[in-house]
Amino acid sequence: MLRVLKEFQLRFFFQNPESCPLFSIDSQALYVYNTTMIPITFHPLYMERVWGGRKLEEVYHRDLPSDAPYGESWEISDREHEQSIVKQGEFAGKSLHSLWKEQRETLFGVDLPASERFPLLIKILDARSDLSVQVHPPEKAAVSLKGDPKTEMWYIADCDKGAKLYVGVKDGVTKQSFTEAIQEGTVEEVIHAIEPDAGESIFIPSGRLHAIGSGFLIYEIQENSDTTYRVFDWNRKGLDGQPRQLHVEESLACIDFSDVEPTMDMPKQQSLTLCPQFSVDHYSLQEGADYLPNNRNRFAILIVVEGELLDTEGNHYQAGDFLLLPVGASPLSVKSDCKVLESTIPA
């Protein structure tokens, strides 16, 4: 019945385009402009971390499960044991995995990866202490190490003055000298440090040595992978009182030692990151405007950085909210000046 209705609507549109606001034509494709589809939002998954804090509660007014330090909020997740569940609306109670498996073309678009699981994993990170120095395996190394490649990007939502990101190696550092630094406990002396500002971002491809220092709130967009090799953990003990496991041999097989003293990324117009796995754009929206994704033929993940948005059913979205906008979703009204991030999988 739905297919017949769509075919009738399409025929009517081509015969009477001025009378059918539900459809629009661009240079590449026909898309449906669904005036009733509101954003899909999910219950966050909170992760205790030894380096975490309470900023999720203080800044975003989140109701955290306990008094423990929480370092991560998984906002969009289709992992086997960490499933995002829809909060409200017609899909309330459904998992992201079921939406991806059962309604991929309807909600997410066509020509997407034929992956078993939704390909992106999106988090908020609250770093009150330094994270471990780590690396994610490039594709070739991942095969031999039986892990998954993982490329990601960080957007600095907020940071303390002087807070440092550790990214890449210092000039002159080799695999041999880095190995010696591990043995001598002087890894901090060979890692390149950056002091970014809020609103900046950096791309972290697989193979890039990295660590987030203390004093950051970060939005992280990444491949749906959780393979991480820790090479140094500041001689710190975990929440169980024991030293956390290190993966020195695996890390040395993955680190790109030609990645010397990288800098924070410079935006290319609206684009912060564009790679085969995902894209991230940033937009400043003025009060009174309407917002629609850049590509209405494909889903978008919208992250509200500042300001307030309103959907057609009166739901408000503020800083720290993460929205899945389906194909052809209805526009959002900008209630106060906004900064947003828009992420999707490139066509």
Contact assessment for residue 206 and residue 139, using Cβ atoms and an 8 Å cutoff: yes
Q: If we measure between CA atoms, which residue out of 126, 137, 157, 160 comes closest to residue 50?
A: 126
Contact assessment for residue 338 and residue 307, using Cβ atoms and an 8 Å cutoff: yes
Residues paired with residue 194 on neighbouring β-strands, in sequence order: 165
Q: If we measure between CA atoms, which residue out of 46, 224, 40 comes closest to residue 121?
A: 224
**67 phi and psi, to 5 degrees?**
-90, 5
Selecting among 230, 236, 244, 296, the annotated active-site residue is 230
**12 phi and psi, to 5 degrees?**
-65, -40
Per the annotation, the verdict on 296 as an active-site residue is no
Q: Are strands 45-53 and 85-86 parallel, antiparallel or unpaired?
A: unpaired
Six-digit token string for 343: 């992420």
Burial class (CB in 10 A: 0-12, 13-18, 19+), 10: middle
In one letter, which amino acid is 317?
A: Y
CA separation for the pair 291, 316 (Å, rounded): 14
**251 phi and psi, to 5 degrees?**
-60, -45
Catalytic residues: 230
